[in-house]
Amino acid sequence: VTPAHDTADYELGLKHQLPIIIGITPDGKISKDIITNANEKDAEKYIGMDRFICRKQIIFDLQEAGLVEKIETIKNKVGHSERTDAVIEPYLSHQWFVKMKDISKPALDAVLNKEVHLIPDKFVNTYKHWMENVKDWCISRQLWWGHRIPAWYNENGDIAVCKTKEEAIEIFRKNNQSTHGIYQDEDVLDTWFSSWLWPIAVFDPKIIGNNHYETPNEDFQYYYPTNDLVTAPEILFFWVARMIIAGYLWGKEKPFANVYLTGIVRDKLGRKMSKSLGNSPDPLDLIEKYGADGVRVGMMFSSPAGNDLLFDEEYCIQGRNFANKIWNAFRLIHQLSERKDDHTPATTYQTEAIELFENYFDKQLEYINDCFDKFRLNDALMTTYKLIWDDFCSWYLEAIKPNNVNDKISSDVINKTIELFENCLKILHPWMPFITEEIWHLLKERQDGNDIIICKWPQENKYNPEIIKNYEILKEIVTQIREIRSRHQISPKQKLEWKEAKSEKFDQWIEKLCNLNHKKITTDTDGKIIVTAQRNIYIELPKQENNKSIEEEIGKLEAELNYLNGFLESVRKKLSNEKFMQNAKQELIEKEKQKEKDALQKIKTIEEE
């Protein structure tokens, strides 16, 4: 048992109060301290011998004495220097420590009481385990670079802890100790000991260790505590926990409110990125191919909080395509702006499109803000992505375009469209800063300093839930009418007739997006195809297609009915499962109930037809 040269032996030595003998000198030779009494003179020949030579010699001597029963190769974990590849020997030496038990308790309580919020909260148990089993912290390192330990020694080995040699002399004098041979400790502080002071040191370093310093400066009072820290889980204890300890120790409160813990970037097979595997792409090459914004978005598409990122270059392609979509949206708005006219009134379908998108934007903005508040960043990104790609580009812009390329467009509609596009750019800017800043300045003339990066975030406005509900139904109607065109190979340019029992709001929006004639108000449904989207809408196909189309449509509806009945059964099984109902989040249960309700409504509509 060698308590001075093995971690496990050291703990064993403490437990059984064994003598701790340092048997190796700092230069790797056998120390004279191995001789502890006069009866051990046989060991004298090893003193001064190199450690590796000594080990071989001892084996030889044991064999010569007939004391070796067998020799076998055993795999063991041996540390090596990353610079010289030399074998590292565990070695007991004088070090500086910080007592951690008492000062750690406020930092533990802060996380358990959610004064400091770890995101995701799965790391709370890890943090709790570390902090409840914390040991004294060795803060000295034998390196040539770092913050040198502020400790001074005299010729007798007395110690004074202070900043300068002059202060050390004064301390030694006060204690009636020698002031000769004074020198500073050659060790430096552990890098984490320097780093744990960061939230305080950047604002008011005088606070640190000064129990009589009662009023921090203005910077400290204004900025401390900060809001959020973004870091990696592997330094949760090394850095984060210690910053929280220092915060309560000297700052008298938490250093930050939230700690967002990122994951590790892995390849799509879940392997760590490494040169040897050849799965680590050069970010600059990716940026050259897909643009900086495309790569940023591609990374974030697969970045749930606290979980590893499974990187796939396909996500960067998706990010690049998104950038192209945004740029094309800008080009269309720019082209429409050249056709704006102050005397041209807005059409009904244009005002309806504005009303629908404004309300939907406000609803999605509320959700996006909630995602940011809860650090669900990839949810915020996906919602932004779908809002801009689908609702702004595919629905809104298509709805406001005049029917003919030479038609003028209302200046009010264009000005409103630019305003809505600006709001889209603002919520997209955190994800795609370069293209949004570029388009921001191309949209219209702006004064110097009017940059999107410092613009105010869009304000949440109240939205009409009824309009949101209508919007989803309207999109379903348009989608089904377009599917009917596709199934029957009817050109999008050919206008179709449609009928319904009564006039509804947003009818002209449907007519614009589906290229329909003005709706006929009638209950006559002979020879027409039924669109079942919570409204009884009838589409009349060209006469030569009618009989064939009706038969085909009946077959489609029967297939849809069979699917809906199977879907309804699966939803009801889930809702009747006690384990699911007890353990699932309430929002998930509500979603399943809504699925059941929607399926029942669709089944009822099809059966009535």
* Contacts of 202 by beta carbon, 8 Å cutoff, 6+ apart: none
Side chain identity at 253, as an amino acid letter?
E
Pair (58, 118) in one structural domain = no
Pair (191, 234) in one structural domain = yes
- pLDDT tens-digit profile of 491-543? 888 999 888 888 989 999 999 999 999 999 988 776 566 665 567 888 888 76
Q: Which phi-psi region, left, alpha or beta, contains residue 16 (left: φ > 0; alpha: ψ -120 to 50)?
A: alpha
Pair (511, 554) in one structural domain = yes
Select from 454, 483, 507 the last residue of a domain.
454
The CATH number that applies at residue 255 is 3.40.50.620
- pLDDT tens-digit profile of 359-403? 999 999 999 999 999 888 889 999 999 999 999 999 999 999 998
* Contacts of 269 by beta carbon, 8 Å cutoff, 6+ apart: 279
Confidence of residue 214 (pLDDT cuts 50, 70, 90): confident
Q: What is the pLDDT of residue 266?
A: 85
Q: In this prediction, what percent of the chain has a pLDDT beyond 90?
A: 55
Pair (334, 430) in one structural domain = yes
Pair (409, 428) in one structural domain = yes
SS (H, E, C) 34-45: HCCCHHHHHHHH
Question: How many domains would you assign to the chain?
Answer: 4
**What sections of 135-190 are H helices per DSSP?**
165-174
Asked if residue 147 has pLDDT above 80, the reply is yes
Q: What is the pLDDT of residue 530?
A: 63
521 inside domain: yes
Domain housing 571? 465-608
Give me the torsion for CA of 373, 375, 376, 381, rounded to 10°.
Answer: 80
- pLDDT tens-digit profile of 239-288? 999 999 999 998 888 999 999 998 888 888 888 887 778 888 888 999 99
Pair (20, 70) in one structural domain = yes
Asked if residue 583 has pLDDT above 60, the reply is yes
Pair (189, 256) in one structural domain = yes
Alpha-carbon distance values, 95 to 142, 149, 164 (Å): 10, 11, 20
Asked if residue 554 has pLDDT above 80, the reply is no
Q: What is the pLDDT of residue 531?
A: 64
Q: What is the pLDDT of residue 551?
A: 66
Residue 577 token pair: 């499962």
- pLDDT tens-digit profile of 425-446? 999 999 999 999 999 999 999 9
Written as one string, the DSSP assignment of 378-434 is HHHHHHHHHIIIIIIIIIIHHHHS-SSTT--EEHHHHHHHHHHHHHHHHHHTTT-HH
Pair (333, 417) in one structural domain = yes
Pair (230, 336) in one structural domain = no
Pair (225, 306) in one structural domain = no
